[in-house]
Structure 1
Amino acid sequence: MNSFLEKVNVEIPIIQAGMAGGITTPELVAAVANKGALGTIGAGYMSGDALRNQIKQVKELTDKPIAVNLFAVSLDASSTNLGDMQRVLDNFRRELGIEQGGEAVKVHDYLEEKVEVLIDEEIAVVSTAFGVLSSDLIELLKNNHVKLIGMATNLDEAMQLEQAGYDVVVAQGYGAGGHRGTFDVAEYPDGSDIGLFVLVQSLVENISVPVIAAGGIHTSDQTAALLKMGASGVQLGTRFLVAKEAGTNKSYREALLQAKTEDTVVTKVFSGRPARAIINRFVGEVESSGIDLLTFPIQNELTKDIRAAGKQLGAADFQSLWAGQGVGAIKKEETVEEIIDDLVGDGGDFVD
Structure 2
Amino acid sequence: MSSALTDLFTYPIVQAPMAGGVSVPQLAAAVSEAGGLGFLAAGYKTADGMYQEIKQLRSLTGRPFGVNLFMPQPEYAESGAVEVYAHQLAGEAAWYETELGDPDSGRDDGYDAKLAVLLDNPVPVVSFHFGVPSRDVLDSLRRAGTLTLVTATTAEEALAVEGAGADAVIAQGVEAGGHQGAHRDVQETDGSGIGLLSLIAQVRETVSIPIVAAGGIMRGSQITAARAAGASAAQLGTAFLATPESGANALHKQALTNPLYARTELTRAFSGRPARGLVNRFLREHGPYAPAAYPEVHHLTAPLRKAAAKAGDAQGMALWAGQGHRMARDLPAGQLVEVLAAEAEAATTALSQGGAR
Normalised to the residue count of structure 1, the TM-score between the two structures is: 0.91
Q: RMSD in angstroms over aligned alpha carbons? A: 2.3
Match of 2:176 in 1: 176
Q: 1:212 to 1:4 in 2, by over 3 A?
A: farther
Which deviations, in whole Å up to 9, do the C-alpha atoms of 1:104-152 show, x marking residues without a partner? 6332531011011112222110011111012332222122121111111
Give the secondary-structure state (helix, strand or coil) at the position aligned to 2:148: strand
Give the secondary-structure state (helix, strand or coil) at the position aligned to 1:212: strand
- Counterpart mapping for 1:67-146 below 5 A: 67-74=66-73, 81=80, 82-99=82-99, 101=100, 105-107=104-106, 109=108, 110-146=110-146
The answer to whether the 8 Å contact 1:260/1:328 transfers is no
- Which amino acid counterpart does residue 235 of structure 1 have in structure 2? Q
- Which amino acid counterpart does residue 20 of structure 2 have in structure 1? G
Deviates more, 1:254-263 or 1:174-183: 254-263
Task: Quote how far apart the aligned CAs of 1:79 are.
Answer: 8.8
Aligned pair count reads 345
Match of 2:332 in 1: 335
CA distance in 1, matches of 2:210, 2:348: 15
Task: Quote how far apart the aligned CAs of 1:311 are.
Answer: 1.5
Match of 1:12 in 2: 11
The answer to whether the 8 Å contact 2:65/2:123 transfers is yes
Q: 1:166 to 1:261 in 2, by over 3 A?
A: farther
- Which amino acid counterpart does residue 228 of structure 1 have in structure 2? A
Q: 1:172 to 1:309 in 2, by over 3 A?
A: same
Give the secondary-structure state (helix, strand or coil) at the position aligned to 1:258: coil
Match of 1:45 in 2: 44
Match of 1:157 in 2: 157
The answer to whether the 8 Å contact 1:78/1:105 transfers is no
Match of 2:60 in 1: 61
In the alignment, is residue 345 of structure 1 matched against residue 342 of structure 2? yes
Q: 1:54 to 1:77 in 2, by over 3 A?
A: farther
Deviates more, 1:71-80 or 1:38-47: 71-80
Match of 1:311 in 2: 309
The answer to whether the 8 Å contact 2:308/2:314 transfers is yes
Which ranges of structure 2 fall in alignment gaps of 5 or more residues? 350-357
Q: 1:83 to 1:74 in 2, by over 3 A?
A: closer
Q: 1:17 to 1:75 in 2, by over 3 A?
A: farther
CA distance in 2, matches of 1:212, 1:102: 35
Task: Quote how far apart the aligned CAs of 1:59 are.
Answer: 0.8
Q: 1:40 to 1:175 in 2, by over 3 A?
A: same
Give the secondary-structure state (helix, strand or coil) at the position aligned to 1:325: coil
Match of 2:352 in 1: none
Match of 1:36 in 2: 35
Task: Quote how far apart the aligned CAs of 1:154 are.
Answer: 0.7
Task: Quote how far apart the aligned CAs of 1:223 are.
Answer: 1.1
Q: 1:139 to 1:286 in 2, by over 3 A?
A: same
Give the secondary-structure state (helix, strand or coil) at the position aligned to 2:212: strand
Q: 1:224 to 1:148 in 2, by over 3 A?
A: same
Match of 1:253 in 2: 253
CA distance in 1, matches of 2:126, 2:102: 36
- Which amino acid counterpart does residue 339 of structure 1 have in structure 2? L
CA distance in 1, matches of 2:261, 2:202: 26
The answer to whether the 8 Å contact 2:132/2:164 transfers is yes
Which ranges of structure 1 fall in alignment gaps of 5 or more residues? none
Task: Quote how far apart the aligned CAs of 1:206 are.
Answer: 2.3
Task: Quote how far apart the aligned CAs of 1:77 are.
Answer: 7.4
Deviates more, 1:61-70 or 1:80-89: 80-89
